[in-house]
Amino acid sequence: MLIAIRVFYTIALGLFAAGTVIYLRAFSQRVPGPRRPRALVVSYGVLFQLIGLAMYTIYLHQAPFLGMFQGLVFASFVLGLLFLMTARVLEDERSVGIIILPLICLFQLSGIFTPLEYVDDPSLSPNPWFILHASVALFSYGAFCISFAAAVLYLLLHRQIKGKHLGRIFERLPSLGELDYLTYRSVSIGFIGLTLSIAFGMVWTQLHLGKLLQGDSKEIITLVNWMVYALYLHSRFYRGWQGKRSAVLAILGFVVLIFNFVFVTVLLSRTHAYL
């Protein structure tokens, strides 16, 4: 069964890699062509990944995101799903695709060659509060990835317009307004998810340890991350920040997120080594 799971993960990686190449080729062309063939490749990748995750859950009798690397696989699935949803509302999704799909491949590649084994910690699974905490957190991470891609593209397009160097890339990017709104919407969704994840985690910790917080380094950085995105939303609603300044804040929030998700989890965290 473990071999079959790895096969499905590998097929998904191959489809995501093929999708990356297809999106890069489409972006290099002036006329984008029909988006349906591009979306189908990514959709099949998400489907194969879903099958692998379901098999993992059934065979090992635990959530498919326990452990650092399995969490990366689940994160790539969430990101693929969110990208497909985002692509449906964009007039031209190619530019977002050439940023998001390599991230999906990187997450997937990090996870498929690591041991698929049961995480021996009775406090994690089948605890429903932990499952909600971790799954909603990964969903919010996917939304923040979308906001990062949109913010980077916004700054690139803004620089081209301001410098009056409207080259071929300009024709292939969504408008500034569309990118700014996509950044805002993705941050809003991710922020709600992150807030719920923190709340679920506090309930789980209270039930498991009798206190709301463990004082772990990952909890501290997560709160810092929450504050950065809260500042993004506050500055937008109450100070009228839009455009470049908001894009910079969204990118800063994502940098903190990656630092927290990778480096803090691996090197500093005592109680969050599972994710």
Lowest-confidence pick of 33-47, 53-67, 96-110, 202-216: 202-216
Q: pLDDT by residue (tens digit) across 143-177?
A: 999 999 999 989 988 887 776 666 666 666 788 88
CA–CA distance from 93 to each of 4, 15, 150, 208, 220 (Å)?
33, 18, 10, 44, 35
Q: pLDDT by residue (tens digit) across 218-257?
A: 888 889 999 999 999 998 887 777 788 899 999 999 999 9
Where along the chain do its domains lie? 1-120, 124-275
Cα–Cα distance measured from residue 247 to residue 52, given in angstroms and rounded to the nearest whole number: 35
* DSSP-derived 3-state class of residue 93: coil
Closest CA to 136 of 30, 222, 29: 222
DSSP state of 113: T
Q: CB atoms < 10 A from the CB of 11, how many?
A: 17
Hunting for tokens 């909600």 — which residue is that? 132
CB 143, CB 193: distance < 8 Å: yes
Instruction: Report residue 81 as tokens.
Output: 């799903």
